């Protein structure tokens, strides 16, 4: 019988933090009436409001955290069974199913009841083939499993090193795809394929977002290879510090390259990506220490970290009107003040906190009932 391994609370907390940042970020950016103008200012200099600038910085950090945590969790669980034959590993089979499921949900959420008449006439709107968050995450799971399979064939390859190398390369070449502009790539492919790389509806394309998942996978593999990170006092800080220092060195390096050569491809975007990952490492280290000190006990919020897919699906339907055509966007898009948008975001988060809390209680109750029936 497989020994049950203690669930890592700091990872659930990181997932909860990522989903909370996503919920508030999406709600405020959708409803705040001056968002577009102030965001434009914050990108190039300042919006004129310190609190908005800080919030905008956090909003840019949300997706890197979300994608990195996805890779971390999946890889950490995947490597628990690395001593078994490849196809006998439960996480490998579940990973393929999960990847397909997540991608399918991504494309379902691109459908809209209001477009039913177009579907009936065989006219599919271009945005139906968008490569968005769920499509990107689902595809990333396939990439993680396939690269893991490579390490099974070539025994000398370490999972952590391979994930780190490929993830770094994917992020590093992103400016080349950005420089293509509206010359969609690959030019010969249908739009559903183009959007995975550089298409008209590439919202979270492979470059750089799969790179974040692989970098998160690198951390997950490292946690399995160096279990002392989870137990020794200063080890997490040491690893996180070295990782953040390397990321910040890359930030400085690409800024120097841009300053010297002034390339048209804007390599400073690479620095932004690695700067975000340095923040991810800092957050993970901080949450791990909070868990050790037993201060990470906010079950109402941590429960949200166990149901991120459900939250994403429901929030997309409620907020943007996906599938059914009506949502918050229908009534208050770019229509309310910042304080009202913040209040609405808090209520939005609390709604999902309550929803997932009851959802998890129901799952546990159903599992207990099944156990009782099986024993009787």
pLDDT confidence of residue 183: 84
- Residue 328 structural domain: 1-33+306-376
296: pLDDT confidence band, cut at 50, 70 and 90? low
Tell me whether residue 183 is in a domain.
no
User: What was the pLDDT predicted at 3?
Assistant: 40
Q: What mean pLDDT is predicted for residues 214-230?
A: 89
Q: What's the residue count for the chain?
A: 376
Domain assignment present for residue 228? The answer is no
Residue 286: inside a domain? no
Q: Establish if 354 belongs to a structural domain.
A: yes
Average pLDDT value for the chain? 88
Indicate the number of domains in the chain.
1
User: How many CB atoms within 10 Å of residue 41?
Assistant: 15
Residue 375 resides in a domain: yes
Domain assignment present for residue 260? The answer is no
Residues in contact with 317: Cβ distance below 8 Å, sequence separation at least 6, in sequence order: 109, 323, 324, 327
Least confident of 215-224, 293-302, 366-375: 293-302
Split at pLDDT 50, 70, 90, the class of 1 is very low
Cis omega (within 30 of 0) on the bond before 24? no
Quick check: is 349 in a domain? yes
For the entire predicted model, the pTM comes to 0.92
- Calculate what percentage of the chain has a pLDDT beyond 90: 52
For the stretch 333-367, pLDDT in tens is: 999 998 999 999 999 999 998 888 888 787 778 77
Whether pLDDT at 12 is above 70: yes
Residues 6+ apart with CB under 8 A from 68: 212, 213, 215, 216, 219, 277, 280
Q: Is the pLDDT of residue 35 over 80?
A: yes
pLDDT at 187 over 70: yes
């Amino acid at each position: 019988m497989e020994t049950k391994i203690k669930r890592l609370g700091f990872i659930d907390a990181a997932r909860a933090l990522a989903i909370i940042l996503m919920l508030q970020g999406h709600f405020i950016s959708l409803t705040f009436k001056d968002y577009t103008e102030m965001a434009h200012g914050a990108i190039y200099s300042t919006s004129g409001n310190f609190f908005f600038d800080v919030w905008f910085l956090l909003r840019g950090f949300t997706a890197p955290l979300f994608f990195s945590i996805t890779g971390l969790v999946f890889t950490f669980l995947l490597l628990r069974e690395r001593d078994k034959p490849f196809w006998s590993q439960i996480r490998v089979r579940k990973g393929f199913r999960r990847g397909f499921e997540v991608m399918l949900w991504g494309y379902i959420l691109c459908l809209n009841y209001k477009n039913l008449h177009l579907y009936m006439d065989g006219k599919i709107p271009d945005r139906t083939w968008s490569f968005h968050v769920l499509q990107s995450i689902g595809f990333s799971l396939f990439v993680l499993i396939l690269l893991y399979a490579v390490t099974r064939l070539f025994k000398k390859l370490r999972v952590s090193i391979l994930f780190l190398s490929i993830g770094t390369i994917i992020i590093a070449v992103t400016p080349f795809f950005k420089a293509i502009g509206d010359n969609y790539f690959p030019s010969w492919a249908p739009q559903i394929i183009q959007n995975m790389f550089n298409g008209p509806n590439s919202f979270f394309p492979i470059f750089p977002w799969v790179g974040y998942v692989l970098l998160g996978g690198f951390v997950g593999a490292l946690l399995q290879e160096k279990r002392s990170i989870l137990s020794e006092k200063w080890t997490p800080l040491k690893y996180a510090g070295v990782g953040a220092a390397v990321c910040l060195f890359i930030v400085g390096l690409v800024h120097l390259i841009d300053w010297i050569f002034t390339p048209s491809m804007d390599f400073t975007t690479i620095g932004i990506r690695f700067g975000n990952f340095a923040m991810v490492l800092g957050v993970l280290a901080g949450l791990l220490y909070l868990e050790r000190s037993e201060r990470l006990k906010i079950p109402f919020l941590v429960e949200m970290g166990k149901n991120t897919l459900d939250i994403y699906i429901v929030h997309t339907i409620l907020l943007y009107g996906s599938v059914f055509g009506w949502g918050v966007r229908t009534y208050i898009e770019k229509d309310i003040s910042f304080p009202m948008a913040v209040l609405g975001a808090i209520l939005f988060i609390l709604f999902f906190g309550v929803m997932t809390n009851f959802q998890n209680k129901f799952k546990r109750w159903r599992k207990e009932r099944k156990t009782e029936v099986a024993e009787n």
